[in-house]
Structure formats: structure tokens, C-alpha cells
Structure 1
Amino acid sequence: MTTHNLALDGSGIDGSLYIDVTDFARDTPWLTEPMSLYTSIGIVVFGVLIIAAWWKARHENSATMAAVLVAPLSAITAYLVNDAVKWVVEEPRPCNSYPTAFILEKCPPLEDYSFPSNHTVVAAAVAAALFLVSWRWGAVTSLAAVLMAFSRVYVGAHYPHDVIAGLVVGIIVGLVTAVLLGKHATTFVEKLSDGPLRPLFAAAVTPEQSQDSQDRRSASKR
């Protein structure tokens, strides 16, 4: 018979708040399906936001394109760091401490630890990285990340402190990764923009746009 070392008992931190949120989920049946869907496949939303930012960045400079391209790397790095934290802390899922709570997801095995939330970390890392693209992209993605964090508690998968920690870890690791890789990524984009892969990094310039650019240069010399 094996024993499980409870390195962190999250129920003593904000277990009552967790119950309040899951009770809220039980009392809002009209919201359970949308929240369950978002918490399950919502990460796809962040992939779509990165693709949309990439498409828009094709009309911007190399630094902007580079900031978009490092966003997935920021998410991957944050996930790996977070997974390491999980195995150090070894906090059991709240469904193990509150087996009668209203939960919308099947309770994971004991080895699937709770602190911090992987979903939230990835979402927050993408949001932090996209803030380096523009505040608009960062703001939109941040709203999606906060919703992801709430959904993880709503469906009963995590304690509130799990998702708060996930936001913090995701923001810090995502931002640091994006900043550290940004300069190298810019050089990478500039090199590839001069080759056959240019359409991936820069939109084609129409004759009208080219003429407009020449007119602006001519006007500036007068």
C-alpha cells in the first residue's frame, strides 16, 4: 500500500471560496455548458489570437513580427516551468478534499497535481507576450486568460489560489521569455524576410502602397 505525501493541502488556504464558486456553478445551469466548453478547448482561442496577431504583424516591422513569433515559445516555457513547480509542491486536486462538491470535470488521478493551473499559466504567458506586440492584443488576450482562470475554478478543477499563482507564473515567465528571445527573433525575422519565406513575415506591397510610400519620401525631402 502506497502513501501520498500531501506537501500542500490547498483546502486550508481557500477551500471555502472554492466551494462558493462550485456552488455558484451548480446554481447557474445555463452557464455550465459554455464554461465547460471554454475550459476544455479554450486554449485553442489563444492559438487563434496568435495567428490573428501574426497576420496583422505582416504589415508591421520586424520587431513586431518577432514579438508575435515568440509568444508560443513563451507559453511552452511557462508550461515547463509550471509543471516543475507542480511536482515540487504536489498539491492534490480539490476534488480529492471535497468529494461531494459540485464539479463539472472528472476528478484527475492523485498524481495530476493542482498548483499552479497549467491552463491558466499558458493563457497568461500568451497574454504577457502579446502585450509586447501591442497593448490591444495584450488586453484582449488578458481578458481571455482571466476567463480561463475563472473557468478552471468554476468547473471544480482548481482552487482559486491555483489559478492566481498560474496567472503570476504565466505573466512572469512569459514576459521574461519574450523579452530575452525578442532581439534574436527580430534578427531571425529580418534574415528570413529577404528570402523565399518573405510572405510569411511581410505582406506583399501593392503598387498603390508603393507609390504612396514614394510620395511620402519625396514630400519629406522638400
Structure 2
Amino acid sequence: MSTPHLTTASGTVSSADRSGFHAIYDFAHSHPPLQKCAELWSEYGLSLFVLLLVFNLWLGYRRGTRQLAAAVTVILAGFVALGGNNVIKAAVAEARPCQVDHSVEALGGCPLPGDYSFMSTHTVAAASIAIGTLYISRRAGRLACLGTVLMCASRIMIGMHWPGDVVAGLVFGGVVAAAGQWLLTPLLDRLFILMSGARLPLVKSSPPDAQR
């Protein structure tokens, strides 16, 4: 009979996480081209999300104060989400799959003990940017959401995270992004309107159909 939990010096991993991880990791490990694609996306995918931040700013500048405020909020919410993730990582102190299961070959090398697993930083960052982008451009946001799902899968496929790490990162990053759009964007919008009125009309008023 399998034990319900795997207990290590760095936290406890549930049996659901273990079985889910091995179902995904073992499948990718048995298909090297798939695992190589996962490694490349895990390594370089976030660079495209950073470029998306620049695209959001450009699009927001063209469309008006509201969209520009939303684009700035995406960046600020991302920093908040990453900061919160670091606090949670230290508090949970969950070991990575490759740190507790020597049969797991983490592509790119297994991080040293103390580099914890919960939550996935890559997933938190991608989810925060993707959900925030939906408030600026639905088409770009949908593509970013797809990229985020692929990032979730890739982090498991290369042996870096348990499924619970990426699911939690997905939810946490998305909630922080949505909360930022709700709380901060209206304030920044008013600030940009005041700035453009007091100085130069750097940005236009937002048209009603700005999000496309």
C-alpha cells in the first residue's frame, strides 16, 4: 500500500502530487523531443512574457489613459505577485521533485536544497502577466493564457515542480493580477488624466471599444 504523503526535511508532498507528477514527467521523459520542447519553453518562454509587457505599454499609450494605466498595473502586480511568492516559498519550504526523488532527472540541473518548490515562480509570473493582459487586449491575453498553461506543463515535464506548485502559482498570479486591475488601474487612470491635463496631452482618452 502506498503512503499518503512523502515527508522530507523540506515539507510534505501529497500522494496526489506525486502520482500527478510522475504521470506527466514519465510521459515527457519517454518522449525526448517533447521534453526538449518543454525545456526550451521553460527556459526562454518568460522572455516572451517580458516582451508582452512592452507591447502592453505601447498599446496602452496608443489607446488612452485607461489602457496605459492597465499596462502599468500589469507590471506592478507582477512585482507584488513575485514578492508574495518568495514569502510563501520560504514559509512552506517544499522540496522539489528532483531533490527528493533521485530517479528524476531535472533538465538544466537540480537546484540546491533551500531553493524551494511551492509555488512555481515561472507560473506566478506568467499567470500574472497573462491575466493582466486580458484587460488590455483580449487576443493577446488569450495567447498569453495559452502560453501560461504550457509553462505549467513544462515545469513539471522537466522535473522542477509538483503539479500543486504550478496550480497554486496559476491561481495566485491570476488573483493578484485581477485584484491589481480592480484596485490600482482606476487610480492610475485618474493620475494620468491629471498629468496629461497639467502638462502635455501625451495620451488620448480611451475609446469605448479599446479592448480588442
The two structures have a TM-score, normalised by structure 1, of: 0.80
**Aligned mates of 1:149, 1:191 — CA distance in 2:** 40
Conserved in 2, the CA contact under 8 Å of 1:53 and 1:137?
A: no
Check conservation: 2:29, 2:157, Cα contact below 8 A.
no
Matched residue type, 1:93: R
Q: C-alpha displacement at 1:88, in angstroms?
A: 1.1
* Paired AA for residue 146 in structure 2: L
The one-letter amino acid paired with 1:97 is V
Which residue does 2:185 correspond to in 1? 182
- Give CA-to-partner distance per residue, 1:124-178, whole Å, 9 cap, x none: 1111211222322321211111111111101110011110000011111121123
| Correspondence for 1:46 among 26, 44, 49 | 49
Aligned to 2:153: 150
Question: What corresponds to 2:125 in structure 1?
Answer: 122
Give CA deviations for 1:43-72 in whole Å, capped at 9, x if unaligned.
111111122222222331210111011111
Q: State the Cα distance separating 1:11 from its structure 2 match.
A: 5.0
Question: Equivalent of 1:92, from 81, 92, 95?
Answer: 95
Match of 1:160 in 2: 163
Q: CA deviation at 1:80?
A: 0.7
* Pair 1:112-2:118 in alignment: no
What is the CA–CA distance in structure 1 between the aligned matches of 2:12 and 2:87, rounded to whole Å?
18
Q: What do residues 4-46 of structure 1 show as CA deviations (whole Å, max 9, x unaligned)?
A: 843x322533212211222122222222333212111211111
In 1, Cα distance between the equivalents of 2:103 and 2:46? 28
The amino acid that maps onto 1:57 is G
Are 2:59 and 2:67, in contact at CA under 8 Å, matched by a contact in 1? no
SS state at 2:62 partner: coil
Query: Which runs of 5 or more residues in structure 2 are unaligned?
Result: 1-7, 205-212
Aligned length: 197
- Structure 1 residue runs of 5 or longer lacking an equivalent are 203-222
One-letter amino acid of the structure 2 residue matched with residue 17 of structure 1: G
Distance 1:11 1:156 in 2: 16
For residue 58 of structure 2, give the secondary structure of its aligned residue in structure 1: helix
Percent of aligned pairs sharing the same letter: 31
CA contact under 8 A between 1:11 and 1:97: conserved in structure 2? no
The equivalent of 2:139 in structure 1 is 136
2:174 aligned with 1:171, yes or no?
yes
- Higher Rg of the two aligned structures: 1
What SS does the aligned partner of 2:71 have? helix
What SS class does the counterpart of residue 116 from structure 1 fall into? coil
Distance in 2, Cα, partners of 1:123 & 1:193: 31
Say if 2:123 and 2:166, in contact at 8 Å, map to a contact too. yes
Indicate the residue corresponding to 2:210 in structure 1. Answer: none
- Whether the 8 Å CA contact 2:99–2:110 is kept in 1: the answer is yes
User: What TM-score comes out, normalization by structure 2 length?
Assistant: 0.84
**Partner residue, 1:13:** 16
Counterpart of 2:3 in structure 1 is none
